[in-house]
Structures are given as structure tokens and as C-alpha cells.
């Protein structure tokens, strides 16, 4: 919901940062891998209850996620790079709730499982439509800078990161936040499935 509004505002800052990184030894895929490695650190940090360190790892991961795309646009978008980026993004999104479950299994396990269940819905509907949108050459002017069709919804990347930030700042409320956000994810999933189905039916005619 917020991504299409935030991306144009962040893009100039990311482009300037990418220009400083634009040298032969730095590649977009390399930035993606470094960002993922930093993001993975959030898992042990969360499991240990080091929420400040986990928040820093999450923030650096998201910074790298913005920089790899900005650098790729300077060099030329790559399908392989786009695939690597989205695959590692979804793995990162999954490890954060799992970290909260490890931190407090008694209180967080069910809510964490609900959130991961909801992430499966948003992720699968997102990727399934993106694959078929490429087949039918469906344009997405709202996210023209993406290497694949970016299907929006109530819970996009911006909202998910906001959730992670709130959970790190207020870990005692993880369960409540997870239940609420999971419900919003299912609204997004139903909207994507229905909207995607109707759109593809029109293209098949």
C-alpha cells in the first residue's frame, strides 16, 4: 500500500548512494548477498533477545536491498539479479518471525506460525501472478523500475518492515502485532488472488 508512494521519494537518495558505490569491484548481486548475510544475523540476535542488534541488522538489510536495485538500474537490470533479490527477500521476511518464536516459544510460537502462514499467502500470490504477468506482457507502470511485475496490496514491503521495527521496539507485543498483521496479509492475499484471476481471465479472451 505504501510502497508506490515511498519508492519515488527514496529513489533519489538511493541513486546518489549507488553512484558512490558504482565501481567495478562492487556488483548489484554482491550487494544483494552482503545484505542478505547481514539480515541473517537478525535470526540469532532475535533468538538471544538482542532486539536492538536485530533492528540494526534489519535496517542494514533493507538499505542493501534498496542499493542493489539502484546499482542495477545504473548497470542494466538483470533477470538473474532480480530473481536472486526476490528469493532472498522472502527468506529474510520469514526468518524474522522465526527469530521471535525462538526468543519466546511459549508466548510467540502460535502467533509466529500464523504470521508465517500469512506470508505464504502473500508471497505465493505475488510470485504466481508475476510469472504469468511476464507471459502476457502485462505492464505495471506503478513499479516500472522493478524487473518483474510487482503486485501491490495492503501489506507490501514497507508495511512488513514497519511491523519488524515495531516488534523489535516492543517485543512483548509481538503476538498481538503478528495476529493483526497476519490478518491484513490474508486480506492482501484474497485481493491478489481475485484480482489476478480476473485480470488473467481478461487477457485469455
pLDDT above 60: residue 63: yes
Answer yes or no: is pLDDT of 142 > 60: no
Look at residue 162 in the predicted model and tell me its pLDDT.
95
119-138: pLDDT as tens digits: 999 999 988 888 888 777 77
The candidate with the shortest Cα–Cα distance to 86, out of 94, 97, 76, 75, is: 94
pLDDT number for residue 70: 87
Averaged pLDDT for residues 64-79 = 85
Q: Average pLDDT over the chain, rounded to whole?
A: 87
**3-204: in CATH 1.10.730.10:** no
Q: What is the 3-state secondary structure (H, E, C) of 44-87?
A: HHHHCCCHHHHHHHHHHHHHHHHHHHHHHHHHCCCHHHHHHHHH
pLDDT in tens, 9-43: 777 777 777 787 778 878 989 999 999 999 999 99
- Judged against a pLDDT cut of 60, whether residue 146 lies above it is answered with no
Question: What is the per-residue pLDDT for 163?
Answer: 97
pLDDT band at 205 (very low <50, low <70, confident <90, very high): low
User: What is the per-residue pLDDT for 135?
Assistant: 77
Quote the Cα angle for 164-96-158, to 5°: 40
Amino acid at each position: 500500500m505504501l510502497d508506490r508512494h515511498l519508492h519515488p521519494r527514496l529513489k533519489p537518495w538511493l541513486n546518489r548512494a549507488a553512484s558512490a558505490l558504482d565501481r567495478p569491484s562492487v556488483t548489484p548481486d554482491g550487494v544483494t548477498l552482503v545484505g542478505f548475510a547481514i539480515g541473517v544475523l537478525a535470526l540469532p540476535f532475535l533468538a538471544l533477545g538482542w532486539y536492538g542488534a536485530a533492528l540494526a541488522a534489519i535496517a542494514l538489510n533493507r538499505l542493501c536491498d534498496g542499493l542493489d536495485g539502484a546499482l542495477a538500474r545504473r548497470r542494466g537490470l538483470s533477470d538473474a539479479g532480480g530473481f536472486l533479490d526476490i528469493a532472498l527477500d522472502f527468506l529474510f521476511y520469514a526468518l524474522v518471525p522465526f527469530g521471535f518464536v525462538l526468543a519466546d516459544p511459549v508466548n510467540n510460537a502460535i502467533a509466529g506460525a500464523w504470521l508465517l502462514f500469512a506470508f505464504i499467502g502473500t508471497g505465493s500470490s505475488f510470485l504466481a501472478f508475476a510469472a504469468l504477468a511476464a507471459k502476457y506482457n502485462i505492464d505495471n507502470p506503478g513499479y516500472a523500475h522493478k524487473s518483474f511485475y510487482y503486485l501491490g496490496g495492503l501489506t507490501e514491503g514497507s508495511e512488513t518492515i514497519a511491523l519488524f521495527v515495531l516488534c523489535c521496539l516492543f517485543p512483548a507485543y509481538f503476538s498481538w502485532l503478528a495476529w493483526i498483521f497476519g490478518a491484513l496479509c490474508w486480506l492482501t492475499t484474497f485481493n491478489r488472488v481475485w484480482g489476478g484471476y480476473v485480470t488473467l481471465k481478461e487477457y485469455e479472451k
